[in-house]
Amino acid sequence: MAATMWAWVRHQTGVALSEFRFRALWSALVLAALVGVCAAVPSSAQGDGEGFVNLALPAGGEVLVENRRGDLRVEVWEGEQVGVAATVAPVAQTPKAAKPAARRAGRSKKAAPSSRLPINVETVGGALKITVERAVSAAAPRVDLRLRVPASARLKVYTSDGELEVSGLPASLVAQTLSGELRVALPRASGASVTAQSLNGTVSVARGFESEGAAARDLRGKFQTGGAGPSVNLFSGRGRISLETLTPGARSSESARTATPQRVKEAQDEGSFKPARQPPQPVETPQEVDEDEVVRVESDLVTLNVSVVERASGRGLQGLAAEDFRVYEDRVEQKVEHFEASEAPFDLLLLLDLSGSTARVTDTIRAAARRFVAVTRPQDRVGVIAFSGTAAVVSPLTSDRARLNAALERMAPPGGDTRLHDSLAYALDFLERSAEPSRRRALIVMSDGLDSTLPNVTGVGSRISYQEIRDRVQEFDGVVYSVWTNTEFYEAFSPEDIQPETYDLAHDRMKELAEAGGGLFYEVEKLEDLAGAYERVVADLGTVYSLSYRPTNKRRDGAWRAIHIRLPRRPDAVARGRRGYSAK
The arithmetic mean of pLDDT across residues 270-289, rounded, is: 48
Q: Are residues 500 and 514 in the same domain?
A: yes
The arithmetic mean of pLDDT across residues 311-335, rounded, is: 85
Is residue 501 assigned to a domain? yes
Please tell me the distance from the alpha carbon of residue 371 to that of residue 534, in angstroms, as a whole number. Answer: 8
Q: Are residues 2 and 99 in the same domain?
A: yes
Give the full edge-to-edge strand order of the sheet including 326-329: 332-334, 326-329, 560-566, 580-582
Task: Tell whether the model's pLDDT for residue 45 goes beyond 80.
Answer: no
Is residue 209 assigned to a domain? yes
Please tell me the distance from the alpha carbon of residue 74 to that of residue 252, in angstroms, as a whole number. Answer: 8
Task: Work out how many domains the chain is built from and give that number.
Answer: 4
Q: Are residues 98 and 189 in the same domain?
A: no
Is residue 197 assigned to a domain? yes
Q: Are residues 57 and 135 in the same domain?
A: yes
Mark out the alpha helices in 341-383 (DSSP H runs): 362-375
User: What pLDDT sits at residue 241?
Assistant: 92
Q: pLDDT tens-digit profile of 295-313?
A: 333 346 788 888 887 877 7
Please tell me the distance from the alpha carbon of residue 497 to that of residue 113, in angstroms, as a whole number. Answer: 32
Q: Are residues 350 and 397 in the same domain?
A: yes
Q: Are residues 183 and 330 in the same domain?
A: no
Q: Higher confidence at residue 319 or residue 357?
A: 319
Task: Tell whether the model's pLDDT for residue 72 goes beyond 50.
Answer: yes
The rounded percent of the chain whose pLDDT value lies above 70 is 73
User: What pLDDT sits at residue 495?
Assistant: 65
User: What pLDDT sits at residue 5?
Assistant: 29
Is residue 277 assigned to a domain? no
Query: Do 13 and 123 form a contact (C-beta atoms < 8 A)?
Result: yes
Q: Are residues 377 and 458 in the same domain?
A: yes
pTM metric for this prediction: 0.50
Q: Are residues 485 and 355 in the same domain?
A: yes
The arithmetic mean of pLDDT across residues 497-513, rounded, is: 87
Please tell me the distance from the alpha carbon of residue 245 to that of residue 162, in angstroms, as a whole number. Answer: 22
Q: Are residues 326 and 382 in the same domain?
A: no
User: What pLDDT sits at residue 18?
Assistant: 35
Q: What is the mean pLDDT of the chain?
A: 75
Q: Are residues 355 and 468 in the same domain?
A: yes
Is residue 275 assigned to a domain? no
User: What pLDDT sits at residue 255?
Assistant: 41
Q: Are residues 527 and 383 in the same domain?
A: yes
Q: pLDDT tens-digit profile of 386-434?
A: 998 889 999 999 999 999 999 998 887 656 678 999 999 999 999 988 8
Torsion region of 99: left, alpha or beta (phi above 0 gives left; psi -120 to 50 gives alpha): alpha
CATH number at residue 414: 3.40.50.410
The closest of 152, 6, 177, 154 to 86, measured between CA atoms, is: 6
Q: Are residues 144 and 241 in the same domain?
A: no
User: What pLDDT sits at residue 47?
Assistant: 54
- DSSP states of 462-531: -SS-HHHHHHHHHH-SSEEEEEEE----S---STTSPPHHHHHHHHHHHHHHHHHTEEEEEEESSGGGHH
Pick from 339-343, 480-484, 521-525: least confident: 339-343
Is residue 273 assigned to a domain? no
Helices (H) and strands (E) in the chain, counts: 9, 31
Is residue 158 assigned to a domain? no
Range of the domain at 140: 1-105+113-151
Please tell me the distance from the alpha carbon of residue 562 to that of residue 541, in angstroms, as a whole number. Answer: 23
Is residue 279 assigned to a domain? no
User: What pLDDT sits at residue 272?
Assistant: 53
Query: Do 169 and 187 form a contact (C-beta atoms < 8 A)?
Result: yes
Q: pLDDT tens-digit profile of 157-203?
A: 988 778 999 999 999 999 988 778 899 999 987 888 898 887 667 88
Q: pLDDT tens-digit profile of 529-573?
A: 888 888 888 888 878 888 888 899 888 887 888 888 899 988 888
